[in-house]
Amino acid sequence: WTRRPRLLLAPLLLAPADLNFENPRVHTALLKVIDFWFALGVDGLRLDAVPYLYEAEGTNCENLPATHEFLRKLRAHIDAKFSDRMLLAEANQWPEDAVAYFGKDGDECHMCFHFPVMPRMFMALQMEDRFPIIDILEQTPAIPENCQWGMF
């Protein structure tokens, strides 16, 4: 990795960009980009690999508190300016971990992909039994009323 601590943490080929979320200027720029797209009429944004926005030495850089702080800031910004738009978290994790991306009171993402359902559907078809789907849904924690799992 080539470290460019002002704005960007980048691999040698400079793609994909790894934004330095520790820098407040990155937040400002990102909010401007989001405002641009929402002003054009985009209904929502998928936040790819959202558990890894921040990095911290000595951790696996997954599900860090700073990520949730940023998501609450992002959600407040969107709710204030574009209350009819949505954020979809792409957190490829078990439901008990991914549920955190809704926020405690639904103040982070509006939706979160429920990744374990998809392979369970294939498993149920192969087994000709609904158990794999029922099993994962029973393991799925409750979410705030203003949120929704994205199942595929």
Q: Which residues are catalytic?
A: 48, 90
Extract the tokens encoding 2. 């080539």
Contact (Cβ atoms closer than 8 angstroms) between residue 120 and residue 143: no
Q: Which amino acid, 123?
A: M
